[in-house]
Structure 1
Amino acid sequence: MKHTASRGWLLTAAAMLVAALVAAPANGATPAIPGVDEIVSSPNLTQVAHLDKTGPFASSTNSDWAFQGHYAYGGNYNGFAVYDIRNPKAPTVATQVLCPGSQNDISISGNLLFLGTDSQRSNDSCDNVASTTAAPGERWEGIKIFDISDPRTPQYLKSVKTDCGSHTQTLVPGKRHDPNLYLYISSYNLTGADQPNCALPHDKISIIKVPKRNPTAATVVAAPVLFPDGGYGGGTGQSPTTGCHDITVYAEKDLAAGACMGDGVLFDISKRTAPRVITTVRDTVNFSFWHSATFNNSGTKVVFTDELGGGGAATCNPTIGPDRGADAVYDIVRGKKLVFGSYFKIPRTNADTENCVAHNGSLIPVPGRDIMVQAWYQGGISVWDFTNSRHPRELAYWERGPISATQFIGGGSWSAYWYNGFIYSNDIAKGVDVLELKDPRTAVAKHFRTDVFNAQTQDNFLRW
């Protein structure tokens, strides 16, 4: 794409850049911790809309996002909500689908929505309760498939049971002439003991094949063992590998990056049903739990996140420091090896009553630069540049003060993603926030549009 800019726009952009630099804390000083529910931000990142959680979702955890057309689909432990975002500054709730189950991670392709359940339920319908020893039911967990031909009236089509459920899921397009979709189902067992539907060792993923023309024929077609040697055995403050937490694919390049608890992994996925481990990395000093992965647009880097404390601890403070509960930037070098570049963590101190750690984010489409927006739970939302793998830097931030100043209460942004010119955040406790980034360094991103966005299914934004 070729873009031109007027002299007036350039003057405005220059003024914004000066304002951002002037507003930065002097001498590296840390901004004061905001008060309860107080919103603070850099001048280039502002909130333009907010929707409170409502109805059956009001008291339940908000989770991950997927987007298609003029709709955003937000996961919640009680189901999923569909938001009409034709006007991003005035979003509305189009519908809510009550379908309880932990995580309720979402992926979308065409008229199909895939909903992942990672808690044992009494059956595979949306009219279910948690399975217990006294009333086990079917002990079902896995993937539910919905028809969203009409986004305002999703129709439940089919379920697919998977071992250990679906903590996260990754939609993988078939290769050329392959009429199927695939789902890589990531799940794990941290109990150290066998569980119903989740026996150890669980060093595998489940792969579901979904025929596009007959989605009700979806089924598990493979369950490859990724760690035949058992993976990392764990250590003090570090998780053992008993599965993967999250896998991100760059299908065009036949690559995937796995955040697999105790291991960071690079996969060859040229054969969709038989991913092959290319290389693994471990950080036995600073990483506790390899949580998620994001490629840069050229597929030459991976950002891994460390979910220290499982997302339920105060880790953005001087006691924990800048290298734990952080991002780690790795370069993919010749031979497709992963070479560590640096850590990145938000440069602000949070209160001891706030859960804060690196969590879900996505690239912002800026050609020639590696820039992403990322959620940090109650640490808020950060926009940062990792073009220089060894010297990443923050460009913008937005955060809401603690839910409580006196007691620890979990909340904050679960996922913050860029979609067609705006940032959408699904706040665990508060609801939906829409943010607008106005910065000359990212202004070109406003021109890029896509019809569908699944964070764990990356493609080349230069082809949008």
Structure 2
Amino acid sequence: MASRLGRFALALAACLAAVSAAPAQASAPQAAAKSSPNVKLVANVPKKGAFADLTAYGTDLAFQGRYAYVGNYNGFTVFDVADPTKPKRVSQVLCPGAQNDISVKGDLLFLSIDEPLSGSSCKSDYGDPSSSRSWEGIRIFDISDKARPRYVKAVETACGSHTHTLVPDKQGKSLYLYVSSYGPAAAFPECKPPHDKISVVKVPIKNPKAAKVVSTPVLFPDGGNEDQPGLLLPTSGCHDITVYPAKDLAAGACMGDGVLMDISNREQPKVIATATDENFAFWHSATFNNAGNKVVFTDELGGGGAATCTASIGPTRGADAIFDIVGKELVFKSYYKISRHQQASENCVAHNGSLIPVKGRDIMVQGWYQGGVSIWDFTDSAKPFEIGYFDRGAFKPRDIAGSWSAYYYNGYIFSSEIQRGLDVLKLTDRRTDPAGRVRFKILNAQTQYRY
């Protein structure tokens, strides 16, 4: 989500008020799910315990081997998905902190914390952002024992960590985390303007306790986009970064700008191309195609809390924008947005997704909050079209809900449903069936490898 809950009211406060008028009724009947004929829900594991609270949003996902890892505002859950139709909860780690966006590599798991806490431990309370003693940043866990993940280390980063991106070094000895954060304020000691940079954390694989910030490269020395109509905030940091290590490229969704970066020097990424768009309110995330010559940027109009999939908003706002990479330029080609209009009570906007590995085609699955899950083809950058969808219908009581992230992993689509838990979908379609022959050993959606 775009907002930093608790620190900034922003436009999201009004959005939340518009969709939360009804009292909380956990037993309220839910709308019937709808889907295209080629998409079927094959499993759902509801949120449990402290994770089941309405404010304990389910967030991002990561995968490794037979395991899926699901973030939650109250911690994370490890699932065994060896049989995707029967996911088994292996462990649930209580460790509150928004948003707990998640990634994994080897025996290490990383969480992003973007809300000031009284300390870095899992027992910390929410803190005072104006205090120099508050903490936010990256937490590191050892997951060698999936049933008993072990807290290892915390790394504080300026302005916290809204999201992070795993970037392997070229020697295989360390990992880098590109930490995206934003929202500076003069009253916040660790997050003063201008916040025109990212934090780069280096994690020695054999000694994760030595993890530390090694650089804070400035991406926007000229200040970035400050006067685009409808922008939630001026460019002051990035929301999300996706890397394509084989090409030494990264794409950054940076609030008012979409950028392309050279990451050949892992510790000093440099912006080599910038794009703006009059229809974009908040550049939220980015996805390369498999060839690395296109980028799909998402616009999180309304911060994730508003109903922007309506007829009045239209097809070009709160959408995806497809750019071709031509030389060192980002060239706009078209927009893609789901065509199913949602109710005024349903928060809906373009959000997180990943490629479906079909050779010779550019096909993506994507979460749209209460707009559900959409599978779409952008092989022709100028003429994207939908292949299939799954829509659970409006959540009752009125609250933030829907698919935060939808990713394809080894034959199935996994969706982190903010309120209703982990969904597993099966897509059966001649255009995407060849993807079933591609097997991933790991998937962190913001770290893209050629399939």
1:37-56 alignment, distance < 5 Å: 37-56=31-50
- Change over 3 Å in CA distance of 1:133–1:341 after alignment to 2: closer
- Report the equivalent of 1:236: 229
1:83-162 alignment, distance < 5 Å: 83-132=79-128, 138-162=133-157
CA distance in 2, matches of 1:165, 1:324: 28
Q: Equivalent residue of 2:435, what SS?
A: helix
Q: Is the 8 A contact 2:215 2:267 kept in 1?
A: yes
Q: Equivalent residue of 1:143, what SS?
A: strand
Amino acid at match of 1:183: L
CA deviation map 1:2-61 (0-9, x unaligned): xxxxxxxxxxxxxxxxxxxxxxxxxxxxxxxxx942100000011000011101100111
Aligned length: 420
CA deviation map 1:430-451 (0-9, x unaligned): 1110000000000000111111
Q: Is the 8 A contact 1:131 1:137 kept in 2?
A: no
Q: Equivalent residue of 1:394, what SS?
A: strand
CA distance in 2, matches of 1:423, 1:212: 30
Amino acid at match of 2:152: L
- Following superposition, the deviation at residue 236 of structure 1 comes to 3.0
- Change over 3 Å in CA distance of 1:95–1:291 after alignment to 2: same
- Following superposition, the deviation at residue 193 of structure 1 comes to 4.0
Q: Is the 8 A contact 2:228 2:256 kept in 1?
A: no
- Following superposition, the deviation at residue 137 of structure 1 comes to 8.4
- Report the equivalent of 1:298: 291
CA distance in 2, matches of 1:205, 1:331: 25
- Following superposition, the deviation at residue 144 of structure 1 comes to 0.8
CA deviation map 1:204-232 (0-9, x unaligned): 00000111111110000000110001100
- Report the equivalent of 2:347: 355
Q: Equivalent residue of 1:57, what SS?
A: helix
Amino acid at match of 2:309: C
- Following superposition, the deviation at residue 294 of structure 1 comes to 0.1
Amino acid at match of 1:65: L
- Once the two structures are overlaid, the 10-residue window that deviates more, 192-201 or 40-49, is 192-201
Q: Is the 8 A contact 2:116 2:129 kept in 1?
A: no
CA distance in 1, matches of 2:381, 2:129: 49
Q: Is the 8 A contact 1:122 1:137 kept in 2?
A: no
1:269 aligns with 2:259: no
1:371 to 333, 345, 363: 363
CA deviation map 1:304-352 (0-9, x unaligned): 0000000000000110000000000000012x21000100000101000
1:56-67 alignment, distance < 5 Å: 56-59=50-53, 60-67=56-63
Amino acid at match of 1:446: G
Q: Is the 8 A contact 1:420 1:450 kept in 2?
A: yes
CA distance in 1, matches of 2:352, 2:129: 34
Q: Is the 8 A contact 1:352 1:408 kept in 2?
A: no
Q: Equivalent residue of 1:458, what SS?
A: coil
CA deviation map 1:235-255 (0-9, x unaligned): 331131010000000001000
- Following superposition, the deviation at residue 234 of structure 1 comes to 3.1
1:221-232 alignment, distance < 5 Å: 221-232=214-225
1:421 aligns with 2:373: no
- Following superposition, the deviation at residue 81 of structure 1 comes to 0.5
TM-score normalised by length of structure 1: 0.89
1:173 aligns with 2:168: yes
Percent identical residues: 60
Q: Equivalent residue of 1:266, what SS?
A: strand
Amino acid at match of 1:115: L
Amino acid at match of 2:43: A
Larger radius of gyration: 1
Amino acid at match of 2:258: G
- Report the equivalent of 2:22: none
- Following superposition, the deviation at residue 86 of structure 1 comes to 1.1
- Change over 3 Å in CA distance of 1:194–1:390 after alignment to 2: farther
1:192-207 alignment, distance < 5 Å: 193-207=186-200
Amino acid at match of 1:323: T
1:388 aligns with 2:400: no
TM-score normalised by length of structure 2: 0.91
- Following superposition, the deviation at residue 410 of structure 1 comes to 1.4
2:209 to 211, 216, 219: 216
CA distance in 1, matches of 2:132, 2:50: 23
CA distance in 1, matches of 2:121, 2:272: 39
CA distance in 1, matches of 2:133, 2:79: 32
- Report the equivalent of 1:71: 67
- Report the equivalent of 1:439: 429
- Report the equivalent of 1:27: none
- Change over 3 Å in CA distance of 1:262–1:194 after alignment to 2: farther
Q: Equivalent residue of 1:283, what SS?
A: coil
1:254 to 248, 251, 259: 248
- Following superposition, the deviation at residue 408 of structure 1 comes to 4.4
Amino acid at match of 1:44: N
Unaligned runs of 5+ in 2: 1-28
CA distance in 2, matches of 1:247, 1:210: 18
Runs of 4+ in 1 over 3 A off after TM superposition: none
1:315 aligns with 2:308: yes
Amino acid at match of 1:38: A
Q: Is the 8 A contact 1:139 1:196 kept in 2?
A: no
Q: Is the 8 A contact 2:129 2:188 kept in 1?
A: no
Q: Is the 8 A contact 2:352 2:366 kept in 1?
A: yes
Q: Equivalent residue of 2:258, what SS?
A: strand
CA distance in 1, matches of 2:188, 2:58: 26
Q: Is the 8 A contact 1:358 1:376 kept in 2?
A: yes
Amino acid at match of 2:116: Q
Q: Equivalent residue of 1:56, what SS?
A: helix
Q: Equivalent residue of 1:74, what SS?
A: strand
